[in-house]
């Protein structure tokens, strides 16, 4: 019923970068916000995975799979940024997510406890599933907003997250058994 549009520059208009485009639909605004969240998530993922890979010594298969996923994760962050740019979004502030990444690294990457490889596996396995949920949400939001190219980028990323989660699922038992076996040998370092 209300046919009055909020005039540009009105105090009612939120001054967030994602709402600066007049006429931006609600779905598009949410999509942009969630893409920003996904970018921050990928920056965190890269920091976490780099921390794990750098310290792993006795689990070469795990280390090399993580290194492969670091390469994928960097491209994912770039692709999410390009999705935002394709929507006309300002992405200059995206670099400011470094603080969050550092907090995550301290929570996960800085673990110095005896079972570091196990805690890292727990964190990594959980993180991949959070990413799977995030891209599933983004695909639906992108389709709802009519952003089919963004949906297909998110589909590709989702596939990479599912592959990483599946790899971890298939190899976690082996990592745990190797960790426990190394613990049995006196003087052998098993924690990573
Ligand atoms: Mg990712
Ligand atoms: Fe991932």
pLDDT digits (tens, 9 = 90+) for 22-60: 457 999 999 999 999 999 999 999 999 998 998 899 999
Q: What confidence tier does 18 reach under pLDDT thresholds 50, 70, 90?
A: very low
Closest CA to 150 of 83, 102, 91: 83
Q: How far is the CA of 167 from the centre of ligand 2 (A)?
A: 11
Specify the pLDDT at position 101. Answer: 57
Q: What confidence tier does 115 reach under pLDDT thresholds 50, 70, 90?
A: confident
- Higher pLDDT, residue 184 or 99: 184
CATH topology classification for 25-184: Ferritin (1.20.1260)
What average pLDDT does this structure show over 68-89?
97
Q: Could you tell me the residue ranges of all domains in the chain? A: 25-184
- Higher pLDDT, residue 83 or 25: 83
Asked if 61 and 172 count as a contact pair (C-beta separation under 8 A), the reply is no
Closest CA to 59 of 170, 172, 184, 163: 172
Q: How far is the CA of 74 from the centre of ligand 1 (A)?
A: 8
Specify the pLDDT at position 131. Answer: 98
Please, what is the average pLDDT of the chain?
84
Q: Give the burial string for 131-162 (b: 16+ CB within 10 Å, else e).
A: bbebbebbbebbbebebeebbebbeebbebbb
Please report, rounded to a whole number, the percentage of residues in the chain having pLDDT higher than 90.
66
Q: How far is the CA of 88 from the centre of ligand 1 (A)?
A: 23
Look up the pTM and report it: 0.80
pLDDT at 163 over 90: yes
Q: What confidence tier does 83 reach under pLDDT thresholds 50, 70, 90?
A: very high
Q: How far is the CA of 108 from the centre of ligand 2 (A)?
A: 15
What average pLDDT does this structure show over 98-106?
57
Q: How far is the CA of 59 from the centre of ligand 1 (A)?
A: 22
């Amino acid at each position: 019923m209300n046919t009055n549009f909020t005039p540009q520059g009105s105090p009612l208009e939120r001054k967030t970068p994602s709402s600066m485009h007049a006429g931006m639909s609600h779905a598009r605004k949410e999509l942009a916000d969630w893409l920003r969240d996904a970018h921050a998530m990928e920056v965190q993922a890269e920091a976490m995975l780099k921390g794990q890979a750098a310290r792993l010594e006795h689990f070469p298969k795990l280390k090399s799979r993580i290194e492969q996923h670091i390469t994928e994760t960097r491209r994912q962050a770039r692709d999410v940024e390009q999705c935002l740019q394709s929507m006309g979004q300002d992405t200059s502030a995206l670099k400011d997510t470094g603080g969050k990444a550092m907090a995550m690294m301290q929570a996960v990457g800085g673990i110095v406890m005896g079972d570091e490889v196990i805690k890292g596996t727990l964190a990594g396995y959980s993180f991949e599933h959070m990413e799977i949920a995030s891209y599933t949400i983004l695909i639906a939001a992108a389709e709802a907003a009519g952003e089919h190219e963004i949906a297909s980028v998110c589909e590709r990323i989702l596939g990479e997250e599912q592959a990483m989660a599946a790899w971890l699922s298939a190899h976690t038992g082996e990592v745990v058994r190797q960790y426990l076996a190394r613990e049995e040998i006196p003087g052998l370092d098993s924690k990573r």
